[in-house]
Amino acid sequence: MGQHLVLTVHLHDRFHGMVDGGSEWPPAPGRLFQALVAGVARGRTLPAEKRDALEWLESLPPPVIGAPDARLGNRVVLFVPNNDADSLANPTDVSSIRTKKVVLPRIPDPGPLLYAWPIAADPNGHARRIVEAADELYQLGRGIDMAWAIGEILGDDDLSERLGRFEGAVHMPGAGRDGVLVCPARGTLRSLAARHAAPRLTVEGSGSRAKTYFTNAPKPLFVRVAYQPQVRRLLFDLRREDAPERAAPGRSAEVVRLVERIRDTAVGRLKEAMPDEEAAIVRCFLGRVPDGADADAPENRVRLVPLPSIGFEHADRGVRRVLVEIPSGAPLRPEDVAWAFVGLDVGDSAAGEIRAVLTPSENWDMLRKHYLPRAKRWRSVTPLALPELAGRRRIDPTRRRQQAKGGAERAGEEATAARAVRAALRHAGVQAKATSISVQREPFEAKGQRAEAFERKPRFPKEQLWHVEIVLDRGIEGPLLLGNGRFLGLGLMAPARDAAPGVHAFVINGGLVGSPEPIVVARALRRAVMARVQVRIGTRERLASFFSGHAEDGAPVRRSRSSHLSFAFEAETRRLLILAPHVVERRAPTSQELDHLHSLDAALEGFRELRAGSAGSLSLSSVASGEGHDPLLGRSSAWKTLTPYVVTRHAKRGAATEALAADVAAECRRLGLPEPRVESSGVWGTPGLGLMGNVTLLFDRPVGGPLLLGRTRYLGGGLFRRVEEIGQP
């Protein structure tokens, strides 16, 4: 049987810890470690046996944390002296070193904090010494946060029983998407001692020229660990009441109605069985108290998730299973919530519906395979319900022609919806950053249904429903539900296994020298991408022409159809782009291209620096791409070159402007674009390249970007931008 070191911490009143400008909850294990060090320290020294025990503690895996619910107190702004009054000639005159301090406390519900570290082996009795050190803890957080602690060593069964009756949320370390807390690691104690011993003042010069400066102490060593509230999951099958061996699938477009019926029936069953717990039941299932006011945080509510059948192209999207998630912070015991669903009748025989019964499922394969895997790219299975401000303008069906939307209005609606999706990610506790967001009314899969089919008035009108595809900068685990309807079955996302990002965008934060030619920066980007992919696939593997643009014999790949990556530098916004061939060619990717794109996606994780020779050592960060307002990737009927267009073949007859216009028109036909009107503004010849110039393309209807045309398109030549973004030519 395993053992655990358990520290129970009681806060006297409130907690003032702050992290990254926000209020931290629960208090990080790193704070508790510092509090233990402060408690056992005697001036600048630590007792030898306590030092050894603390070094042992910092080597343990991150602990499980139990924390009561806590509400935010009032934000107070104070202007107080910094801790460098020693550097002043007159220490009583602190007017010059006053600084703004924000005080935002957390006020917890009654109950202690709990930290439990697993102990693999402890032959030297270090755990017992940490238990003794807990008696000397006197604060947690800032100096005003008084606290006391009790240490214990518990077995697996005792800890499980303690966590089972813990009144609050249990937070588990791992690859969660909710919060990130600092934890001690090997070397943390040594770094704290170095920080404490570091001199605060340095003197430069001597005599009357001497100047005293305040010196920042070295930062302590901690590691950042993702924490996620523990959630108990129950999976139920929808079985026919008259034939339990047969499934009773519901329509995916009716998920809101299905959830409301299951939820309300379960609430009624619990109210009848536990009449004294009505307030807790309403809080648990609706997040409200009986008078209708908000009560609990959303993460403490029970969530019902209907799971449409997906996974292959002919799946009918019928709802055959319902997932029930019970968070550890729910106001009811998990056993009581589970009892409310077992054998629950669903369906209305009077309305002609098949009556179904919720039966505990024995097959979790579909859930694990299609909804829970870790992924960076997610697509909506049921549409997201976004706020009213992100809705579409309704068109009167009898006046469609008169009220038809132009490209600018449609792009504006999509851009507003994309911003609302970012807010929905924050509300769902997703810490990963969205690098690409696509919104549309149509489903992403053949058997899916348009967003309007999920309308449920008055709460979810069709104008506020959107299908969404999101690409994140790092993978997260499911299930992922977003939007205002995430507790009613809307906004259910699934990993997009058959797709990979077609566009990667990075912005240059610093290091750019002068105004380099875009092709110089694009070449450096190409070299860096090739090197990262080579490391990803292995140095002994041959780099595919998809990344290099060269065949096995080293010769350039020469095809009219794009078959390898394109790289571009947009100098105006200091943005770097990596574009897949299927995006440039406006076609579906092949299966081989998808494999390459997955390798590219993995290789670009952590890409933060680009050495571009004379252009500088560039500091990068990934940015969103593919949204409706993007000047390169949005829609417009007028496009203008950002980088000169180079003809693919030099015409031997006719004027240069005519030859350039004919070549551009041919490129547009090759891509299946409508025939444009081509206006030239400067045409010239360059040795080694040929005829080139700046052009504007005017189409009779809006077309989507990117437009990357001509002979040098693989290195950002012939890159076009929407005219609406730069003014009429």
| Distance of alpha carbon 499 from alpha carbon 586, whole angstroms | 15
Write out the E strands in 36-144.
Answer: 64-67, 70-72, 76-81, 98-103, 106-108, 113-119
pLDDT above 70: percentage of residues in the chain: 87
Report pLDDT for 92: 61
Residues 27 and 148 in one domain: yes
Higher pLDDT, 320 or 656: 320
Angle at 234 between CA 231 and CA 240, to 5 degrees: 160
Report pLDDT for 725: 43
Report pLDDT for 249: 87
- Binned at pLDDT 50, 70 and 90, residue 399 comes out as low
Which residues make Cβ contacts (< 8 Å) with residue 171, sequence separation at least 6? 26, 64, 65, 66, 67, 179, 227, 228, 229, 230
Record the pTM: 0.59
Higher pLDDT, 443 or 652: 443
Higher pLDDT, 396 or 304: 304
Residue where the block lists tokens 């770097």: 576
| Residue 292 in this model has a pLDDT that exceeds 60 | no
Report pLDDT for 446: 74
Last residue of a domain, one of 623, 653, 685: 623
| Residue 338 in this model has a pLDDT that exceeds 60 | yes
Q: What is the pLDDT of residues 365-386, one digit of tens each?
A: 888 888 988 888 899 999 999 9
Count up the domains in the chain and report the number.
5
Q: Answer yes or no: is 398 within a domain.
A: no
What tokens does 60 get?
A: 């343990």
| Residue 20 in this model has a pLDDT that exceeds 50 | no
| Distance of alpha carbon 70 from alpha carbon 219, whole angstroms | 29
Residue 277 burial (C-beta neighbours within 10 Å; 0-12, 13-18, 19+): middle
Range with the lowest mean pLDDT among 290-304, 317-331, 508-522, 672-686? Answer: 290-304
Q: What is the pLDDT of residues 180-210, one digit of tens each?
A: 788 999 999 999 988 888 777 777 777 777 7
Residue 344 burial (C-beta neighbours within 10 Å; 0-12, 13-18, 19+): middle
Residue 706 burial (C-beta neighbours within 10 Å; 0-12, 13-18, 19+): buried
Q: What is the CATH number of the domain that holds 185?
A: 3.30.70
Residues 324 and 417 in one domain: no
Residues 241 and 318 in one domain: yes
Range with the lowest mean pLDDT among 125-134, 525-534, 650-659? Answer: 650-659
In a 3-state reduction of DSSP, which class is residue 606? coil
Q: Are 133 and 151 in contact (CB under 8 A)?
A: yes
Q: Are 26 and 182 in contact (CB under 8 A)?
A: no
Segment (H or E) for 474: strand 465-476
Residue 596 one-letter amino acid? H
Q: Answer yes or no: is 338 within a domain.
A: yes
Q: Answer yes or no: is 662 within a domain.
A: yes
Residues 545 and 617 in one domain: yes
Residues 166 and 275 in one domain: no
Q: Are 648 and 667 in contact (CB under 8 A)?
A: yes
The CA–CA distances, whole Å, from 616 to 113, 455, 517, 574, 714 equal: 50, 53, 12, 13, 22
| Distance of alpha carbon 721 from alpha carbon 729, whole angstroms | 12
Residues 154 and 56 in one domain: yes
Q: Answer yes or no: is 400 within a domain.
A: no
Q: Answer yes or no: is 28 within a domain.
A: yes
What tokens does 210 get?
A: 């001497």
Q: Answer yes or no: is 517 within a domain.
A: yes
| Residue 727 in this model has a pLDDT that exceeds 80 | no
- Binned at pLDDT 50, 70 and 90, residue 64 comes out as very high
- Binned at pLDDT 50, 70 and 90, residue 397 comes out as low
| Residue 22 in this model has a pLDDT that exceeds 60 | no
Segment (H or E) for 265: helix 255-273
Which residues make Cβ contacts (< 8 Å) with residue 80, sequence separation at least 6? 98, 99, 101
Report pLDDT for 115: 96
| Average pLDDT, rounded, for the chain | 84
Residues 218 and 292 in one domain: no
| Residue 348 in this model has a pLDDT that exceeds 60 | no
Which residues make Cβ contacts (< 8 Å) with residue 293, sequence separation at least 6? none
- Binned at pLDDT 50, 70 and 90, residue 62 comes out as very high
Q: What is the CATH number of the domain that holds 375?
A: 2.60.40
User: DSSP letters along 194-244, please?
Assistant: HHHHS-SEEEES-GGG-EEEE-PPPPPP-EEEEEEE-EEEEEEEEEESS-T
Q: Answer yes or no: is 579 within a domain.
A: yes
Q: What is the pLDDT of residues 96-155, one digit of tens each?
A: 667 777 777 888 888 899 999 999 888 889 999 999 999 999 999 877 889 999 999 999
Beta strands 319-327 and 231-240 are: antiparallel
The CA–CA distances, whole Å, from 499 to 479, 547, 595, 596, 606 equal: 19, 18, 9, 11, 21
Report pLDDT for 160: 85
Identify the domain containing residue 533 by its residue range. Answer: 503-623
Report pLDDT for 91: 59
Beta strands 492-495 and 375-380 are: antiparallel
Residues 74 and 163 in one domain: yes
Give the pLDDT mean for 489-498: 86
Report pLDDT for 472: 86
> Can you say how many angstroms the Cα of residue 417 is from the centroid of all Cα atoms in its chain?
17
In a 3-state reduction of DSSP, which class is residue 593? helix
Residues 512 and 490 in one domain: no
- Half-sphere exposure at residue 278, Cβ-oriented, CA atoms within 13 angstroms: 7
| Distance of alpha carbon 68 from alpha carbon 25, whole angstroms | 10
Higher pLDDT, 20 or 229: 229
Residues 455 and 593 in one domain: no
Report pLDDT for 578: 94
Last residue of a domain, one of 495, 517, 532: 495
Which residues make Cβ contacts (< 8 Å) with residue 95, sequence separation at least 6? none
- Binned at pLDDT 50, 70 and 90, residue 295 comes out as low
Q: Answer yes or no: is 524 within a domain.
A: yes
DSSP state of 139: B
Report pLDDT for 448: 86
In a 3-state reduction of DSSP, which class is residue 56? helix
Report pLDDT for 726: 40
| Distance of alpha carbon 333 from alpha carbon 97, whole angstroms | 52
| Residue 576 in this model has a pLDDT that exceeds 90 | yes
- Binned at pLDDT 50, 70 and 90, residue 21 comes out as very low
Range with the lowest mean pLDDT among 93-97, 204-208, 523-527, 544-548? Answer: 93-97
Residues 342 and 386 in one domain: no
Which residues make Cβ contacts (< 8 Å) with residue 653, sequence separation at least 6? none
Residues 283 and 422 in one domain: no
Radius of gyration (Cα) for the chain, nearest Å?
31
Last residue of a domain, one of 623, 643, 659: 623
| Distance of alpha carbon 429 from alpha carbon 480, whole angstroms | 10
| Distance of alpha carbon 631 from alpha carbon 625, whole angstroms | 10
Helices (H), 307-396: 334-341, 365-370
User: DSSP letters along 141-169, please?
Assistant: SSTT-BEEEEEEEEEHHHHHHHHHT-SSE
| Distance of alpha carbon 261 from alpha carbon 252, whole angstroms | 14
Sign of CA dihedral 6, 7, 10, 15: negative
